[in-house]
Amino acid sequence: MYGKKVKLRLLFLSFIFLIIILSVFLILKSLEENVVYFISPTEIKNLPEIDITKRIRVGGMVKEETIKLNQNQISFVITDFKNEINVTYSGAVPNLFSEGKGVVAEGYLKDRSFFNAKKILAKHDENYMPPEVKEALEATK
Amino acid sequence: MLKNFEPNKIFLITSKAPKYILFAFIIIISIGLIEALIISPEDYIQSHSVRIMYVHVPSAWISLGTFSVIAILSFVILIFKNKSFILIAKSLAPSGLVFNIIALVTGSIWGKPTWGTWWAWDARITSMLILALFYIIYILAWRIYDGTEKVDKVTSLIAILGAINIPIIKYSVDWWSTLHQPASINIFVKTSIHSSMIVPLALMTAAFALFSILIFLMKYNTELIKIKNKGLDRL
């Protein structure tokens, strides 16, 4: 149907395209550590060794009933429902920061279960709804 | 079949279409803005900043869609040496870039009150920035290689390379841990946006799509006139 030249160009271009996709995949795979924005408490637990001088981000859910305020320090627990990590932080938190919601803490590990945060980011989930709907949902629980 | 687009016949249609599209755009954006800013409810947790979503999400969709179309056209241009697609691909780029920038800026404005930061180097936001860079490189390549023989090949290759980034943007939120939330609108799974918020989102998407078609047609007509004035009767 199409000429030999068209077929050749199609083959050549597809070949180049596949090779580039493969190399992009391999690059992203090897850089995975840097591509992920935060790591979970479980991943911290499984780290072969911890570096207390390296600034890292830990993310998960703020465990219910763990936010404690004393003077100008706030402490809470980040959980991924398998493992947890205790976080301390002094400073302002974003409006969306609350119990049972997603959070990303940036700072330094003290050890495998204590984290000293320098910055707190709230993570929003994919749910959008008016307050009345949320109340109705809560009521049916 | 594709090679037989008559520039003069096309111009007859494309030079008249903008005023109808502008008319439809004004009507839909008016209803869309009233829905998005007044009628639609506030969110249970973000309160009024959810309204930024009605600009942010359609802009992001359109910039992704536009680049996909440019990439597909470029593929046809390279394989079949199709001449009539070249100007279409070229004319699509400016509005795609504008919507890409709008998505980045509105995302930043939304991020500050919601996340607590203007910018995060997470996979979704970074890949979106790379898309904007591809748009800029694509448009610059048209400028730099303007009038040369290889301009079609260079720009088409850039578009095809940039297309690899499109699935990365789409699935970045699933493949890696990101600050950006995963997709709320799903074809196969239940959508996690309440129906009262879907209406303004759909209207704004339609309005922005019309606007980008409008900008595309204006650019395309300019390109056609440029060719006419050069005294060339080929596309």
B134 chain-A contacts, CB cut-off 8 A? none
CA distance B214 to chain A (A): 31
Residues facing residue A73 across a β-bridge: A70
Task: Answer yes or no: do A130 and B43 touch at CB < 8 A.
Answer: yes
Task: Please compute the mean of the pLDDT values over residues A129-134 and round it to a whole number.
Answer: 85
Task: Answer yes or no: do A133 and B44 touch at CB < 8 A.
Answer: yes
Is residue B1 pLDDT above 50, yes or no?
no
User: pTM for this one?
Assistant: 0.89
Residue pairs spanning A and B at CB distance below 8 A: 110
Tens-digit pLDDT profile for residues A54-113:
999 999 999 988 888 888 889 999 999 899 999 999 888 888 888 888 999 999 998 888
CA-based nearest residue to B58, from B21, B91, B107 = B107
Tens-digit pLDDT profile for residues A114-124:
999 999 999 98
A125 touches chain B (CB under 8 A): yes
- CA-based nearest residue in chain A for residue B118: A121
pLDDT band, residue A136 (cuts 50/70/90): confident
- CA-based nearest residue in chain B for residue A134: B44
Task: Answer yes or no: do A133 and B78 touch at CB < 8 A.
Answer: no
- Please report, rounded to a whole number, the percentage of residues in chain B having pLDDT higher than 70: 94
Architecture per CATH, A37-123: Beta Barrel (2.40)
**CA separation for the pair A115, A102 (Å, rounded):** 16
B50 chain-A contacts, CB cut-off 8 A? 128
Task: Please compute the mean of the pLDDT values over residues A40-66 and round it to a whole number.
Answer: 89
CA distance A110 to chain B (A): 23
A128 chain-B contacts, CB cut-off 8 A? 43, 46, 50, 53, 184, 192-194, 197
pLDDT of residue B161: 94
pLDDT band, residue B217 (cuts 50/70/90): very high
Supply the DSSP string of B201-222, one letter for each residue.
HHHHHHHHHHHHHHHHHHHHHH
B179 touches chain A (CB under 8 A): yes
pLDDT of residue B62: 97
Q: CA of B137: how far to CAs of A16, B18, B71, B103, in Å?
A: 20, 28, 14, 18
CA-based nearest residue to B180, from B68, B65, B53, B62 = B53
Is residue B234 pLDDT above 70, yes or no?
no
Task: Answer yes or no: do B120 and A121 touch at CB < 8 A.
Answer: yes
**CA separation for the pair B166, B70 (Å, rounded):** 12
pLDDT of residue A58: 93
pLDDT band, residue B235 (cuts 50/70/90): very low
pLDDT of residue A95: 83
Sort B118 into a burial class: Cβ within 10 Å, 0-12 / 13-18 / 19+: exposed
A100 touches chain B (CB under 8 A): no
pLDDT of residue B93: 96
**CA separation for the pair B230, B222 (Å, rounded):** 12
Q: Which amino acid is located at B96 in the chain?
A: G
Task: Answer yes or no: do B176 and A37 touch at CB < 8 A.
Answer: yes
Tens-digit pLDDT profile for residues B28-54:
999 999 999 999 888 888 888 899 999
Tens-digit pLDDT profile for residues B116-175:
899 999 999 999 999 999 999 999 999 999 888 899 999 999 999 999 999 999 999 989
Contact in structure between B89 and B160 (CB atoms under 8 Å):
no
Supply the DSSP string of B31-54, one letter for each residue.
HHHHIIIIISPPBTTTBGGGGGHH
